Structure 1
Amino acid sequence: MKHSAGAKSSGSRKTYHHGALRKVLLDAARAEIAAHGARGLSMASLARRAGVAQSAPYRHFSDREDLLFSVATDGFERFTEALLEAASDGDDMSALSRMAAAYLVFGERNVELYRLMFASGLVPGAASDSPLKRAASASFQPLLDRVTALDSPTSHLSAHVRWGQLHGLVMLKADGFIHDSVEALMGVISF
């Protein structure tokens, strides 16, 4: 039996107001992914972590893939916000370096979410007009804009190379091949 949004549940389950359950579920999914990776996330584990009935996640997500698409979309939106905030915090000359540092920090602090976003195959398999594809494309735009301002004749290629450097560093750190701090890495890469 499904509980209506905002209804009180028995036991340790929480009470949610209309509209808050989706956020609670996304927060719980991010926490589950951070703790155990995306492979271990199921609708049942999500319901347990969120403290809701097993049927509750299906009110907002049709299945596990829909949930993962939503988590990844939210991740790209948060990632883009971090890059834009870094770019706006200080003078234009060092904006690209600040964005590079923000990129590395986001990847280091959100390893499993980053893997879901960039290494799970979700984005390449998403429809071109999907929120996930749009959010992923939008996350590249701040880097492209800054590189274009500095290096217009080869901006797209240059932005991809810089993105590749940052992605490689995040993944090498995540997999334990690099142990240096973001500050140390920023001291030796050129942006």
Structure 2
Amino acid sequence: MPRITAATVADHRATQHAALLSAAMEILVAEGPAGLTPAAVGARVGLARSSVYRYFSSTADILAQLVEDAIPRWADRLSSATAAGPDLEAKIRAFGEVTLSFVTHPDYALLRALTSVELPQECQDRLDQLHEVLIAPLREVVAEAGHEQPDLVAHLGWAILGEAQRRLAAGADPGPTGRTTLAVLCHALLTGR
């Protein structure tokens, strides 16, 4: 039986789960989705592959749990950014800047990995829900700006940012790309309301 290194079994499992998620993220960033397997994650923390299956049912489940772990961090950053803005334009710019900064963060490896793995429908449904959590702060700003269809406008704004992220990830110059994207985003979201 494995040695328990925490005050309770639940604490031990939580610590072990966190270590496995951290190892999975390290593998994903270093090797890409092809290197991410339950066996590789277990080996990274010194746990047998069969024991890893107590925490993850598959590689897709590892990815889904990594996203589940990352989304609240990014949602908090986006909410904080929009809350701090003194006016609507500043809030939209702040949301855009945080969204674009995602490309330079190790968590961006998750997005690339998700496009290369077929997820079970339940995982995809949960990811869709989490995606809506990320868009929520922009939707609130757009509603505050007086748009009749804040959900549609926020999703269109997200699409603008998504294109900029793709270009940045492909090596586009961050300065001009960021400036142009934020200008287009503000113009698109603040006119026609």
Provide the TM-score with structure 1 as the length reference: 0.78
Q: 1:56 to 1:121 in 2, by over 3 A?
A: closer
Counterparts of 2:74 and 2:19 in 1: how far apart (Å)? 20
Counterparts of 1:157 and 1:144 in 2: how far apart (Å)? 9
Q: What are structure 2's unaligned runs of at least 5 residues?
A: 6-10, 187-193
Shift of 1:131: 4.2
Q: 1:121 to 1:91 in 2, by over 3 A?
A: farther
Of 132, 149, 172, 1:154 maps to: 149
Identity %: 24
- Whichever structure has more helix as a proportion of its residues is 2
Counterparts of 2:96 and 2:74 in 1: how far apart (Å)? 12
Structure 1 contact 75–113 (Cα < 8 Å) conserved: no
Residue 140 of structure 1 corresponds to 135
- Are 2:113 and 1:116 equivalent residues in the alignment? yes
Residue type of the alignment partner of 2:127: L
Shift of 1:130: 5.5
Counterparts of 1:52 and 1:17 in 2: how far apart (Å)? 13
Query: How many residues matched?
Result: 177
Alignment of structure 1 residues 56-135 onto 2, 5 Å: 56-93=51-88, 94-109=90-105, 110-116=107-113, 119-120=115-116, 126-127=121-122, 131-135=126-130
Q: 1:88 to 1:50 in 2, by over 3 A?
A: farther
Q: 1:20 to 1:56 in 2, by over 3 A?
A: same
Q: 1:129 to 1:185 in 2, by over 3 A?
A: closer
Runs of 4+ in 1 over 6 A off after TM superposition: none
Counterparts of 1:132 and 1:160 in 2: how far apart (Å)? 16
Provide the TM-score with structure 2 as the length reference: 0.77
Alignment of structure 1 residues 3-22 onto 2, 5 Å: 3-4=1-2, 6=4, 17-22=12-17
Q: What are structure 1's unaligned runs of at least 5 residues?
A: 8-15
